[in-house]
Structure 1
């Protein structure tokens, strides 16, 4: 089974959604799965150096009170997934472009799952600035990626444009929120759905063959 996941590294719901997908797949241990991850930018106009986190939240949610309510809802949803958010540790809202570039390398090297978990944990649990390349190099070392591979990625002049293009393709497909999951190119659902909901989509995709599946590239 092919599963395409569209996500952003600064999206807390994506962290929860990835864990819930893992839980759902654990209930179908005999199903071979190929998971493909695709970048989405919640903040495509974010400056490369990011901005103050408090300023960002107030702009996005219209005030500290509303922002707090949203983050509390995410924390409640994470219960039972093994994810504990430490939103109070985050000082800057980063651009997510370079973290997606790190994960592109990780996907090529076959360690996308662990690398994605580490990027999420670095930001949402450790409060580290994942827009800072020093942090990304540290994450790469933690999952066994060589600095040379990351050097080569960051040296590519087309790297940023490719992330922007992937974001554009996601929007062109009608994806406006993340995480979004596409199963075997035929069934899609958005949001950090409960494992039982994802499991129903997995089973449906296994039972149904689509002649011309839609695949995120």
Structure 2
């Protein structure tokens, strides 16, 4: 079964949706799944060095400090209920995510899902700058990717064009928010959903396939 997942690595709802989906997969286990990760850059205008996180989020949302804290608290609560840690107090930078998506693209297929989770963990739990080459090389090394080769590929800016192009193409397909899941090119799930919702979607995809 083919699963296409559209996400951004600084999106807390993408991390929650990923957790729900993989929890559903662990219960489902009807057939082998082939997962493809696709970049959806929420804000490609961000510099690699990033912006101060809270002030950027306040300006982006157009709300005051107390309101942004309430938003963080509610999102953190929903994440915790799903088994996901979101340490907004540790995040200092809103960063451009092209490099992190590049690491995902470079990761071998057998470790790609783990690398995606490691990037989410680095940002949302450890407060690390996932737009920084050193941070991403350290993640890659954890999964036995060659550090020198990985660094050379990450700093090769030609690869950025492909990440931006794919994100742009995604928007042209009328996917305008993430997370977004497409199962077997037939069943779509928009948003972070729930374990139950994803189980229903997986079963529906099997039924649709059987009718073809």
Query: Structure 2 length as normaliser, TM-score?
Result: 0.93
Long gaps (5+) in structure 2:
none
- Report 1:1-20 matches (<5 A): 1-20=1-20
- Report 1:147-166 matches (<5 A): 147-166=147-166
Q: Partner residue of 1:95?
A: 96
- In the alignment, is the contact (CA less than 8 A) between 2:181 and 2:190 conserved in 1? yes
- In the alignment, is the contact (CA less than 8 A) between 1:182 and 1:189 conserved in 2? yes
Q: Partner residue of 1:215?
A: none
Q: How many residues align?
A: 211
- Report 1:97-116 matches (<5 A): 97-106=98-107, 108-116=108-116
- RMSD (CA atoms): 1.8
Q: Which 4+ stretches in 1 moved above 4 angstroms?
A: none
Q: Distance in 2 between matches of 1:188 and 1:94?
A: 28
Deviates more, 1:169-178 or 1:53-62: 53-62
Q: Distance in 2 between matches of 1:161 and 1:68?
A: 35
Q: Partner residue of 1:77?
A: 78
Query: Structure 1 length as normaliser, TM-score?
Result: 0.91
Long gaps (5+) in structure 1:
213-217
* More helix by percentage: 2
136 and 36 in structure 1: CA distance in 2 versus 1, 3 angstrom threshold: same
- In the alignment, is the contact (CA less than 8 A) between 1:46 and 1:95 conserved in 2? yes
Q: Partner residue of 1:183?
A: 183
